[in-house]
Amino acid sequence: MLRILPPLVLLALWVWAFIDCLTTSEEDVRYLPKVAWVIIVLLFPLVGSIAWLAAGRNRARSRGRAVPWPSGPTAGFPEYERPGERFVAPDDNPEFLASLKKDNERHEDMLKQWESDLRRREEELRRKDEPEDDPRG
């Protein structure tokens, strides 16, 4: 178990540094271009990861840009803070409800046509099956 622990720690450090390097904005990267840091972290897992964490990222600058915690009645719901049209649930959207009503009326008309067609066909079949009144008798 103890022999497996150091490679696992190295792998975790490498993956964390690699993902951190990829997700860091170009403005927060120090000393080398971001692409160079990615290559260094990939090619030299231990040294590259430590170098990236120690010198590659400007941690003080990225901490200064922290987004303040939202407050107010719409806090945490950015869709309510956007200017312009607000999202409306389908059951509250009058256009959607009108389209449902229109579709429902169209389906009802279609059903009435089918019913009348079925009645007409049943009448025709009854006429064919009924014996004709014999004039002789």
Secondary structure element (H or E) that encloses residue 99, with its range: helix 94-129
What's the pLDDT score for residue 123?
94
Percent of the chain that is helix, strand, coil (3-state, to 5)? 70, 0, 30
Mean pLDDT over 83-99 rounds to: 78
What's the pLDDT score for residue 131?
73
Mean pLDDT over 65-79 rounds to: 57
Mean pLDDT over 25-51 rounds to: 87
What's the pLDDT score for residue 74?
57
In this model, does residue 55 exceed pLDDT 70? yes
Query: Average pLDDT, whole number, for the chain?
Result: 81
Contact 45, 10 (CB under 8 A): yes
CA torsion sign, 88 to 91 to 96 to 98? negative
DSSP 8-state code for residue 130: S
Q: Give residue-wise pLDDT tens across range 9-21.
A: 889 988 988 898 8
Threshold 0.85, pTM exceeds: no
Greater model confidence, 133 or 52 = 52
Q: How far apart are CA 89 and CA 101, in angstroms?
A: 17
The helix/strand/coil state of 42 is: helix
